[in-house]
Amino acid sequence: MSLRASLSNQGEITVISLEGQLDYENQDVLRENILVLMQGGKKVVVDMEGLNFVGSSGITHFIRSLYEFQEAGYSVPRLCNVRSEFRKIINAYDINKDFSIHESRESAMTDFFRLGAGENN
C-alpha cells in the first residue's frame, strides 16, 4: 500500500490526513507538499491516524524535513493521532523536543493559537 494524503482547509490551517505507509519512496512528495503549503502562509497539521506503517528511513527524512522547516522560519507542522509505536520513533529522533504531538486534530489546531506559541513552534 502506498501513502495517500487528503487535504482539508480550516481557515489558515491545512490538515493533511495520511493513510497507508510512510517510507523513503514516498516521503519526498509529502515533504514538498507541506513546504508548498507553508510557503503559502498556511499552518499545517499532519494527522497520522491512518498510517499503518512508518519505515525508519521514511520517518528519518520526515523528521529532518521538520527541522528544515523550523530552520527556514516556518511554523513547524503539528502532528496528531500518532500511534504509540510511531511516537516512540519520533521521540527518539526529536532530542530537542521541538515537535508538537497531540492526541487529537482539534488540540493540534488549537496549539497554533495558544498564548505564547511562537511562529516557529
Task: Tell me the pLDDT tens digit for each residue of 43-99.
Answer: 999 999 999 888 877 888 888 888 888 888 888 899 999 998 888 888 887 777 778
Pairing relationship of beta strands 78-80 and 13-22 according to DSSP bridges: unpaired
User: What is the reported pLDDT for 40?
Assistant: 86
User: What is the reported pLDDT for 7?
Assistant: 92
* Structural domain includes residue 118: no
Cell 522560519, located at residue: 73
Is residue 16 classed as helix, strand or coil in its secondary structure?
strand
User: Confidence band (pLDDT; 50, 70, 90) for 23?
Assistant: confident
* Structural domain includes residue 100: yes
User: Confidence band (pLDDT; 50, 70, 90) for 116?
Assistant: low
What is the CATH classification number for the domain harbouring 41?
3.30.750.24
Task: Name the pTM for this structure.
Answer: 0.85
- Are the CB atoms for 30 and 5 separated by under 8 Å? yes
Q: Report the domain count for the chain.
A: 1
* Structural domain includes residue 120: no
* Structural domain includes residue 97: yes
- Here the cell at position 60 is 528519518
* Structural domain includes residue 121: no
Q: Which structural domain range is residue 35 located in?
A: 4-111
